[in-house]
Structure 1
Amino acid sequence: MSVRVVLASASPARVSVLRGAGIEPEVIVSGVDESRVEAAEPRELAMELARLKAEAVFASLDAPQDVIVIGCDSILVLDGAVHGKPYTDDVVRARWQAMRGRRGDLITGHHLIVARDGDGVGRTEAALTAVTFADVSDAEIEAYIATGEPHHCAGAFTIDGFGGAFVERLEGDHHNVIGLSVPLLRRMLATVGVEWTGLWNTTEQTGG
């Protein structure tokens, strides 16, 4: 049985993670306004954002069946404060001045909707990876800002680009820092009877 896998995210990094794991997703952006969503705890916020994204995309599908919708959202927690995408140079600069030489928690919420015969079954989980940042100089921060990379990344950094050299240590799943925890997603799918290996696009991987 062919299963349609839909990623409710515009993140190229999340698409890359899934493709690297053998899954070719269809991308549909949710349009959810993240700034209007609130929650009592950072973990709850990440999961709520992921749920809203997945449910918005699922609702937009025509006669959804044999489909898996994956919604994700990442946040960085430093000193108990939640940080999302910084967008501007000033915010990136302030963020890195606060993060350098310290440790923060990158939390990614995951919401999964698996639909069979039009009925959707949902699951929500979150993964946490502790990140230790290098004690970068002001000059390095300015050079990083100039790349444009950190402006649209949760926590103002990535590990799969220019920012990788500024991350000293990870405790937890590194995929989670990129934006989607592959081991967690596999476990979530198993709870609703979906075999991870059954989603592999082996034709692409073998060049057949």
Structure 2
Amino acid sequence: MKVRLASGSPRRLELLKQLGHDVEVCVSAFNEVSGAENVVEAIVAANALGKGSAVAKVMGSQIPLVSADTVVALEGEILGKPQDSLEARQMLIRLSGKCHRVLTGVAVLYEEQQLVEVTETKVWFRNLSEAEIGAYVATGEPLDKAGAYGIQGRGAILVDRIEGCYNNVVGLPLTRLYQMMAQIGVRGF
């Protein structure tokens, strides 16, 4: 099945291809909104819908269109992608030994319909030593990831356990997306 992805995320593309879909990538020009932790669900939902709507305005929505926004939230703060190695190190020190939330807003636009939902996964980091943090940061992996880690890569060893959808932490909750597609009338997803 052909699906349009309003995201340049290689992880989201890989997840959709894992399901066997023909994926057309159309990076959205939407400027993401930001805000405080207490409205994080509204922020990721608005960003997901904004990204999808911007692409639908140009490309249409005759093909199912998927867009998403994922954030890491810890103690009242949204941790975005670190600007440099120092910021990545600081984020990982803060995450060490604690539980944080990963929230992904997902939007599906198809024909004249749109559906937006938010999925949350709780992630517990084990206690990390300075040496472990330094070694992980030195790999460069944290620099393009929200919260400065990738659970699907080397960052997997930082995580003690999760509660919720693993693929949500990677960037796209596939089971929920499947249910949303059915709900909006997409057949064959």
- What percentage of residue pairs aligned between the two structures are identical? 34
- The answer for the alignment partner of 2:71 in structure 1 is 75
1:26 equivalenced with 2:18 (yes/no) = no
Give the aligned partner of residue 103 of structure 2. Answer: 107
Unaligned runs of 5+ in 2: none
1:179-194 maps to which residues of 2 (within 5 A)? 179-194=171-186
- TM-score, scaled to structure 1: 0.85
Which residue in the other structure is 2:40 paired with?
A: 42
Deviation at 1:168, TM superposition (A): 1.0
- CA distance in 2 between counterparts of 1:66 and 1:48 reads 22
1:174 and 2:166 correspond:
yes
Matched residue type, 2:58: S
For 2:162 and 2:23, the matched residues in 1 are separated by 27
Using structure 2 for the length normalisation, give the TM-score. Answer: 0.93
What are the Cα deviations for residues 83-110 of structure 1, in whole angstroms up to 9, with x where unaligned? 1211311211110110001100000010
| SS of the residue 1:5 aligns to | strand
How far, CA to CA, are the matches of 1:26 and 1:148 in structure 2? 28
- Displacement of 1:65 in angstroms is 5.3
1:134-153 deviation per Cα after TM superposition (whole angstroms, max 9, x unaligned): 21111111111111111111
Superposed, 1:50-69 pairs within 5 Å as 50-61=48-59, 64=60, 66-69=62-65
Gaps of 5+ in 1: 200-208
Cα pair distance change 1:4/1:153, threshold 3 Å: same
One-letter code aligned to 1:77: A
**Which residue, 118, 121, 137 being the options, matches 1:145?**
137
Q: 1:191, CA displacement in angstroms?
A: 1.4
Does the 8 Å contact 2:72/2:101 carry over to 1? Answer: yes
Indicate the SS of the match to 2:64.
strand
How many residue pairs match? The answer is: 188
Distance in 2, matches of 1:91 and 1:32, equals: 25
- Give the RMSD, CA atoms, in angstroms: 1.5
Determine if contact 1:106/1:128 at 8 Å carries over to the other structure.
Answer: yes
Determine the C-alpha separation between the residues in 1 that align with 2:76 and 2:34.
Answer: 18
